[in-house]
Structure 1
Amino acid sequence: MPNLPEQDLFLTADGALAAVIERLSPGQLALLAPADWTRRFEDPTLGQIVLVHAHDEAFVPEVLRGTPLDEIGDRWEPVLASDDPIAAYRSAHAAATAAASAPLDGARTVHFSYGDYPLAEALTHLAMYRGFQSWHIARLAGFDDTMSPELVDGLDRHVMPHADEWRQWGVFPPAIEPPAGADAQTRLLCAAGYWAA
């Protein structure tokens, strides 16, 4: 049974984020991150952002099974207190990858804190967060921030048609007019409101 297109997008975005996180040094984990990246920590470090991603990954297997959040409860809260962000993320990522690589029913209802969605659509939400965070974290850490063509194309096809709706919810800042001759990644980042020269 072939993967759903949204499933492949999630795996691509999740893999991109994991690749960036695996490159982070202890010094980079100590960098301050933008406060609006999380509400979990005040004046977060990049290491704390990695813990937030580990926490988010830990939910993926149960969310994909359609488990209600009140049944999951606070079992994953200890992840946020880990003293090894990379190891915590690596463990949660492995479980999320395994769950998202299995055959999935795109029509199954899954539950987020902000509403219920068909699994196929929910995967685009998860991919959006991970895909753009891979770019943000790479920039903050001083890495090459080039996104793969597959990730750019997937986000453009599955996420950006909903950008204006999500912008009303505060997910994206205002769109930016792309510069003349902009490549696909720059056009994507401009549509998301993230691009900076």
Structure 2
Amino acid sequence: MIPEAEVFLRAETALLSVYAQLRDEHWDTIFPPIFDMEGANKPLPVRQVVNHHVYDDAWIPDMLAGRTMDEVGRDRYDGDLLGDDPHGNIQRFADAAMAAARKADDRDWMVHCGYGDVPAWDYFWQLNIARGLAAHDLARHIGVPSPITEELARGMYEGTAPSADMWHSFGVFRTPVAVAEDASWRDRFLALTGRRP
């Protein structure tokens, strides 16, 4: 398994741990945007945010198998994927996504995304950042501890720090926050993304 896929498994698990703590009263609350990029910078109900994550997970097995969206059907996973059993459906799609990630053994395998072809390592970093930041931000939103472990944070930091300027230019990371030289990996990663530890 490639290193980026290992980080994905940790990030996905962290996000799932927050989803497991969602109660009925949380689903309709308005969640502040995770990113500042155009098209992803609007507050949305938690249920809609979670549904988008499940939509991402639904595509992962197909993407990692080398299929194109046209081969699968671009509207295959459109609509409400949470249904009447949101927790069960979240887990079902996540299990399939994680199983596919465990088989990823070629960093340069071409993934056919809707916007173009990218190597697997690049595809995973997009997934990893979205999951890592969503896990932290959603945990704060519903008032539970952040699930970002030191192991996950170190992987996220070491994988994104070299290209932090690019992520910032896209609106994925916000203006970095200063932290002490001996700060934990968690604090370093959050600060790199513009979040105060």
User: TM class by shorter-chain length?
Assistant: 0.7 to 0.9
Q: Which amino acid aligns with 1:57?
A: D
* Cα distance in structure 2, aligned partners of 1:113 and 1:172: 22
In 2, Cα distance between the equivalents of 1:46 and 1:106? 33
Q: Which residue matches 1:57?
A: 57
* Alignment correspondent of 2:96: 95
- Counterpart residue identity of residue 70, structure 1: D
Contact 2:27 2:45 in 1 (8 A): yes
1:1-80 → structure 2 map (5 Å cutoff): 3-35=1-33, 43-72=43-72, 73-80=74-81
Asked whether the equivalents of residues 176 and 195 of structure 1 are also in contact (C-alpha less than 8 Å), the reply is yes
The number of equivalent residue pairs is 194
Whole-Å Cα distance in 2 between the matches of residues 103 and 192 of structure 1? 27
Give the CA deviation at 1:134.
Answer: 0.6
Q: Which structure shows the higher helix fraction?
A: 1
In 1: Cα distance, 2:6 partner to 2:187 partner? 22
Query: Which position in structure 1 is the counterpart of 2:132?
Result: 131
Gap change, CA 1:170 and 1:43, over 3 Å in 2: closer
* Contact 2:64–2:104 (Cα < 8 Å) also in 1: no
Once residues 191 and 162 of structure 2 are traced to their aligned partners in structure 1, the CA distance between those partners, rounded to angstroms, is: 14
Q: 1:82 to 1:186 in 2, by over 3 A?
A: same
Pair 1:174–1:149, CA change in 2 (3 A):
same
- Bigger mean CA offset, 56-65 vs 175-184: 175-184
SS at 2:105 equivalent: coil
Partner of 2:142: 141
Contact 2:14–2:147 (CA<8 Å) still a contact in 1?
Answer: no
Identity across the alignment (%):
30
Shift of 1:70: 2.5
Letter in 2 for 1:24: L
Instruction: Specify the code of the residue in structure 1 equivalent to 2:174.
Output: P
Q: Which residue of 1 aligns with 2:192?
A: 191
* 1:77 counterpart SS class: coil
Secondary structure of the 2:44 match is: coil
TM-score, normalising length: structure 2? 0.87
The Cα of 1:195 is off from its aligned counterpart by 2.0
Residue by residue over 1:99-120, the C-alpha shift from the partner in whole angstroms, topping out at 9 and shown as x without a partner, is 1112532221012234321112
Number of the residue aligned with 2:114: 113
Task: Give unpaired runs (5+ residues) of structure 1.
Answer: none
Q: Distance in 2 between matches of 1:134 and 1:193?
A: 15
What SS does the corresponding residue of 2:112 show, helix, strand or coil? Answer: strand
Residues 43, 152 of structure 1: alpha-carbon distance in 2 compared, 3 angstrom cutoff? closer
Q: Do the aligned partners of 2:20 and 2:87 also contact (CA within 8 Å) in 1?
A: yes
- CA offsets per residue over residues 125-181 of structure 1, 9 Å max, x none? 211111111111111010111511111011011122211112111211111222575
Given that 1:50 and 1:86 are in contact with CA atoms closer than 8 Å, whether structure 2 keeps it comes out as no
Amino acid at match of 1:90: Q
The answer to whether the 8 A contact 2:18-2:147 is kept is no
Is 1:32–1:43's contact at 8 Å kept on the other side of the alignment?
yes
Mind listing any 5+ residue stretches in structure 2 that lack a counterpart? none
